[in-house]
Chain A
Amino acid sequence: MIRPAPGSAPDRLPALVAVLIMIVSLVTAGFAYLRTQADNRVATATRRAEAAAVEVLSQLAIKEREIAHEISIFGFANDLAFFSNSLGQSGAGGFDFAADLSAAYSSAVTQSSTFSGVIGSQYERSDGFIEWARFLEEQRRPVYVATEVQKAHETVAAAWISNSARYVAIITILAAALFLLGLTSNLSADARRTLAFSGAGLALLASLWGVSVLASDLPEVSEEAVEAYVDGLIINLWGQDTAEFLVAEQRFTDAIDLDPRYRDAYFGRGIARFQLDLVAPGGPQGSAGAEDDFLTVLEFDDQNGIGWGNLGAVRFWTGDFEGSITATRRALELVPDDPILALNLGFLLAIGDDEASYLEQLGTIREKLVDLPSWLRETVMTRYMTALDLAEQYRPSFAARAVEYRESLIRINHEISVGRRFFDSPTPPPIAAVIPSLVLVAADGGTRIEAEFTYQGVEAGQRWLYRTYVNGFEVPALSRLAEPWPLAVPDGVAVFANTGFFSGTTVRVEVFIEGNLLAATEIAVP
């Protein structure tokens, strides 16, 4: 043992090291406790998330059943009402028996309607229109609440898992510090001092880290925030006007005030603000608030593809086209299969000066639309056409390009639809035939429409058809099914005509050969 020289000051280091070892040991014990506590918080949060997941499934089953139940009652009452009205019309013509039956069925309508949750409720407008979207979303509210509670508990569990891992690291460092302190007893005075200071320093650093972890602000589940968020979410799903979206915006703000880390609330508020801008009198001007919200969402998670996509959409309306393209391209990197993002990028390229990229994007859009089921493709197209209408109406400098883009999209959509139904493939192989002109002429006061078109390069045996759309809706009775080309080959002029049109409607005719949409045109019936 190294002893102090006679007359020199006693070496207090061993005693100091002993005290340090004891302190570090006790601090380590404290962090062992905190680590166990963190693990238990993980278990508790996971358990609560699991219980919420059970609630989600349960409420989903219950609410969808109740919705189906309501639809059945409404359908029953509605059928009776139609029956009663029809009998009433017959009765008004002097047929007493029908009038008596109508009165009886009318009472049946009244009786069955008392069981409906929508007829005569806040969901029925004064004009008799039922706000089904609002009814459905409000019915699903418990499902949304349980889902949010589940997500919130999962977030809490993830935060505690992270803390638990930090405590393990801290305990490991403290063990290393103890090792260094313990080594001091077998070394020379100089080395002993070095190791003692190293061990003490390491223990101090680990302890400070531990204190910062302990003091860190971990997420908690706020049921009030969830309630406010779900209020906003539901309105976002059915809302139509400014007043409704203002309520949604406020409820999302309430949720954010209660839980500033509620990422989805920023996302929802961004949507509400975006919608507010779209329905604003005078058209959309671009919402700085929505942009801020989506940027906040991306601060939380820069891998949120839909967040990037929404940022791109907002920036289009604020006039930041470069920023819009950048954000939309980033979104497509993260969510490459999203058709709306592809459509957004298509329009941004359409109004730019890179025609080659625009044409390439049209091909990409077609590939994405081909992959969608018909109902989803039609839904996407309908939603997107509404946005294009706004662009055409409120951005005059892009109006012509919007019209052109809309026509391209309609042709892509109809070619996929017709190809799938009549030619066994949504993507028909290209053919050499062309239809250079297609002209519609209204005759007989607009009830008869004649279509005249010229054609070139048609081969014998190729199948053709035409489809007629009135106000955007396909009318099979005014269309032709696929059949072998009945006209001259290869070049010529053809005329076909249909009757049964009404004044004020817009009629569109498209001619297809082997699934290729070769010509389309519209006429407003005078």
Chain B
Amino acid sequence: MPDATAPVAGSETSRHKTLVASLIALTTFLGAVGAWRATESGGEAADAERKAIGDARGGAQREAVIRGALADIEFNYMKQSTHRALANQLRLESSAASAEDAARLLAEAAGHDAVANAIFVDPDAVQADGALDLTAKYDIEWSLATSQYDLDPEPEFAAADRLRSTQERIVLATALFVAAALFLTLARVGRNAATRRLYFAGGVGVLCLATVALVVLEMT
């Protein structure tokens, strides 16, 4: 480093004064940039969180709606299969009954068949062999919901965490710029040459450190 800090006969050279003033201006500017970037990161994190909460809420709503629909489907299927079982058993009983009772039993069976036929069971929830498959139905509905809406909050939560972490570090860098500005100012106005040198060295060191930190944070 040139002997910029060395005072000549108890005073500073005009080159040194200019250098210190320039460094103060640079530090102030970089501090302002840091403050702006920290605010931006914080704002983006808050936006990501709002989006994530919205996704979570939407996902929860869709989940509740789908589960409710599945319960309805299961209940309808239960009623339908019960009426069918009843009709089948009535027909079975009719085969060994008297002619009069058989006619009544078959009429009852027909009635239960009619009820079973009138009950709607979503075909997406029924396998080829007629068995109920609520998992398949759930998968279809959830797949549809996620194709229409972003219902996964995790990516936004992760982004928010990342942005907040960046914001914290930028705040640290900004605080270091403020400290550097203070040191450089003291290096400019101090009355003692030795302390001015100390302040100058400290100010430049902290400025370099904060600048490198800010650049690295912006690049990552």
Contact = CB atoms under 8 A, between A and B. Distances in A.
Interface string B14-34: 000000000000000000000
Contact of A26 (B56, B89, B206): B206
Interface string A56-69: 01100110011001
Contact of B60 (A57, A100, A106): A57
B61 A108 contact: no
Interface in A413-469: none
Interface in A1-48: 1, 14-15, 17-19, 21-22, 25-26, 28-30, 32-33, 36-37, 40, 43-44, 47
Nearest to B83: A108
Best-buried of B78, B88, B90, B206 by chain A (most CB within 10 Å)? B78
A19 B194 CA distance: 11
Nearest to B66: A62
B78 A29 contact: no
Interface stretch (A109-117, A231-239, A384-392): A109-117
Interface residues of A, number: 51
Contact of B78 (A76, A101, A107): A76
Interface string B31-60: 000000010000001100100110011001
Given A76-B78, A101-B108, A112-B82, A47 B172 contact: no
Interface residues of B, number: 64
B38 to A, nearest CB: 8
Interface in B195-220: 195, 198-199, 202, 206
Given A44-B161, A47-B49, A100-B105, A112 B172 contact: no
Contacts of A104: 86, 89-90, 92-93, 105, 108
Interface string A150-164: 000000000000000
Best-buried of A44, A62, A105 by chain B (most CB within 10 Å)? A62
Nearest to B132: A115
B5 interface: no
B164 to A, nearest CB: 4
Contacts of B89: 103-104, 106-108
Contacts, number: 164
B135 interface: no
Nearest to A116: B78
A54 interface: yes
A21 B74 contact: no
Contacts of A111: 81-82, 85-86
Contacts of B149: none
Contacts of A30: 172, 175
Contacts of B202: 18, 22
A115 B74 contact: yes
Contact of B75 (A25, A69, A80): A69
A300 interface: no
B167 A18 contact: no
A26 B197 CA distance: 18
Contact of B85 (A43, A101, A108): A108
B121 interface: no
Contacts of A1: 191-192
Interface string A326-344: 0000000000000000000
B56 A51 contact: yes
A50 B86 CA distance: 49
Contacts of B56: 51, 54-55
B93 A29 contact: no
A185 interface: yes
A28 B49 contact: no
Nearest to B161: A44
Given A14-B194, A51-B153, A65-B71, A43 B164 contact: yes
Nearest to B187: A18
A55 B195 contact: no
Contact of B86 (A18, A44, A65, A107): A107
B160 interface: yes
A15 B195 contact: yes
A372 to B, nearest CB: 32
B104 A28 contact: no
Nearest to B91: A104
Interface string B147-182: 000000100010011001101110110011011001
Given A28-B179, A47-B160, A111-B85, A36 B167 contact: yes
B23 to A, nearest CB: 15
B182 A25 contact: yes
Interface string B133-153: 000000000000000000001
B79 A47 contact: no
Contacts of B164: 40, 43-44
A21 B82 contact: no
A132 interface: no
Contacts of A185: 190-191
A449 to B, nearest CB: 47
29 contacts: A14-B194, A19-B198, A21-B186, A25-B178, A25-B179, A25-B182, A28-B179, A29-B178, A32-B172, A33-B171, A33-B172, A36-B167, A36-B172, A43-B49, A43-B164, A47-B49, A51-B53, A55-B56, A58-B60, A58-B63, A62-B64, A69-B75, A73-B78, A76-B78, A76-B79, A80-B82, A101-B90, A104-B86, A107-B89
Given A22-B206, A47-B160, A100-B90, 20 more contacts: A14-B195, A15-B194, A18-B198, A25-B182, A33-B169, A43-B49, A51-B157, A58-B60, A65-B68, A97-B101, A100-B93, A100-B94, A101-B93, A104-B89, A104-B90, A107-B85, A107-B88, A107-B89, A112-B82, A185-B190
**Which 7 pairs of residues, A with B, have the shortest CB-CB distance?**
A58-B60, A29-B175, A33-B172, A111-B85, A100-B93, A25-B179, A104-B89
Interface of B: 38, 45-46, 49, 52-53, 56-57, 60-61, 63-64, 67-68, 71, 74-75, 77-79, 81-83, 85-86, 88-90, 92-94, 97-98, 101, 104-105, 108, 153, 157, 160-161, 164-165, 167-169, 171-172, 175-176, 178-179, 182-183, 186, 190-192, 194-195, 198-199, 202, 206
